[in-house]
Amino acid sequence: MGSFEVLSAGRVASVCLTACAGALVYLVVKGYHARRTFYRLRQQGMPMPPWNPILGHLLAVPPVMKTLPEDTQQPDAFEALCKAHEKEDMDSIIYLDMWPFADPMIVICSPVLAVQACQEHDLPKPPILHAFFNPLAGGDNLFTMNGPVWKRSRALFNSGFGAGYILEQTSHIVDEAEIYVEILREHARKGDMFSLDDVTCWYTMDIIGTVTLDSRLQSQRQHNPLATAMRRQIRWHVLDNEWNLFIRWNPARPFVQWYNNRQMDRYVSGELDKRYAEWKEDENTASSRSVIHLALAGYMAQQKTLPRPPRLDPAFKAWAIVQIRLFLFAGHDSTSSTICYCFHLLQSHPAALARLRAEHDAVFGTDVATTSQKLRANPALANQLPYTTAVIKETLRLFPPASAMRGGLPGVSLVDAQGNAYPTEGTNIWILHSAVQRNPKYWGGGDPAAFHPERWLVGPGDPLYPPRGGWRPFEHGARNCLGQTLAMLDIKITLALTVRELDVRSVYDEWDALNGGGAKAAGKGKVKTVNGERAYQTQVGGAHPADGFPCRVRFRV
């Protein structure tokens, strides 16, 4: 027995040593290929920071990070790198060698090159996206898929996000918006400071819950296990810019994420079973084009046998749960952030706020209390708000909630207006929407970081007129955002029901005084603004305003 134990221990040690040696060889070989790739790119004159054959561009990051807040979103750091190291005779693009933290990367801040990557070449989504989306969606999803699998899934859900059908959801959106407005009124009566981002996330979660599951989550007022698990999963999600090892390697994280996954999967599974039972009894109940009904419609269309199977196929359920979770995440996360930034920019620009209020008076009448009723009776009123639409688009230009990532391919190069070709093979291509949408080379009319809703109301030839491919918050091409029409409607209805009754104002000075930010942080050498903006974007799932956008709400006098 003793010799057997010694022999077993020896085999285990041998296996461990072999595995370690194999891992080391893999890292060395992959690292060699990464460095060799960049050696060749540098020889070709490709734009990049000073490169070290051992450390690549790792030394280029710390100086940039010192100029930014610790919790800023990654695109701000890479935008700063691009500005510092792009070549004058080339477009806004750099190559970055961040091995072993990332595969070879191209950072794009140019609309011309973004159009080529996402529209002309329609490059695929890279595997790196799985690490971000898997904890939230639970597996391969509409955002990470490629090829025929993606095309079939996209086609299945298209009708649920058509403009006509989304407009029919106006009454459901108004139902949730009325609760949101009442919550803001309660804060106005109390006069307290609260996180606008937090309150708004629950609100948009309830909207997307209705559109996705065809049922009300009611998470604004009470506990809902699905909404709570999703929001908790986002808070526990570790992003690539998390350098604190105590946070990144928190031993509790796998257990919390497992529990959140279980809660979300159980809830959505129950909803699928419920809808399937209704469908089997009466197929006329399947007239809805909610995400859950569209998924079931695709499943039923594939069934060749009658009577219907007593239970849904487990493989189908697993696939459907992942897609539904994706819609729940993407459908609430970016919209909530944009609503917060709309309030922020309108607060900072009284003339724009006055014009917005005047438009709402003209369309809905001066009695604010009747706006909900009028929207329910005539949803098309939401399409008669050109200045409101311009405000939302300009907000999305200045504070886009996400960026785009594509994978390079052999033989595919991006070419700028000067004829410079940038090979993409073996790289991840990161299109920084925030940088593309404020690039002074392409955006005219003065300071591209200034708030000018009027640029969305002028014609070609005007200095403010947007450049082709320059506005990309929902991306363009075949893989544009499926939910963009819903997001725009959500925000228009929200503004229509709030801005004439309530003033929403950030109180960062007050927050900083209580939490050691602002001047106190600056005195300690910490940066708390990005380009002078205190409500800079942080990465919490998507991009959200710093510190949850602390605010106070007052009734309009």
Residues at the binding site for heme are 481
Instruction: For Cα atoms 254, 258, 260, give the angle at the middle one, nearest 5 degrees.
Output: 120
Q: CA–CA separation, 395 vs 337, rounded Å?
A: 10
Query: Residue 231's CB: how many other CB atoms inside 10 A?
Result: 20
* 427 close to 103: Cβ distance less than 8 angstroms: yes
Q: Which helix (H) or strand (E) holds 194?
A: strand 194-195
- What whole-number distance in Å separates Cα of residue 552 and Cα of residue 503? 8
Binding-site residues from annotation: 481
For helices 314-348 and 253-281, angle between their N-to-C axes, nearest 10 degrees: 110
The radius of gyration computed from the CA coordinates of the chain, to the nearest angstrom, equals 25
Nearest to 212 by CA among 328, 334, 336, 330: 328
Q: What is the 3-state secondary structure (H, E, C) of 98-125?
A: CCCCCCCEEEECCHHHHHHHHHHCCCCC
Look up residue 551 and give its DSSP letter.
E
Spatial separation of the C-alpha atoms in residues 52 and 159, rounded to whole Å: 51
Task: Give the residue ranges of DSSP H helices in 369-506.
Answer: 371-377, 386-398, 433-436, 484-498
**Cα–Cα distance, 358 to 62 (Å, whole number):** 48
The whole-angstrom separation of Cα 266 and Cα 228 is 13
- What tokens were used for 306? 């009658």
Q: How far apart are CA 15 and CA 451, in angstroms?
A: 61
Residue 323 contacts residue 293 (beta carbons within 8 Å)? no
Buried-exposed string 359-381: b where 16+ CB fall within 10 A, e elsewhere: bbeebbeeebeebbebbeeebeb
141 half-sphere exposure, CB direction, 13 A CA radius: 23
For residue 407, what is the enclosing H or E element? strand 404-407
CA distance 129 to 326: 13
User: In this structure, how many other beta carbons lie within 10 angstroms of the beta carbon of residue 92?
Assistant: 26
> What does 277-323 look like in DSSP terms, one character per residue?
HHHHH-GGGGG--SHHHHHHHHHHHH--SSS--SS--HHHHHHHHHH
CA separation for the pair 485, 379 (Å, rounded): 14
As beta bridge partners, residue 555 has: 502
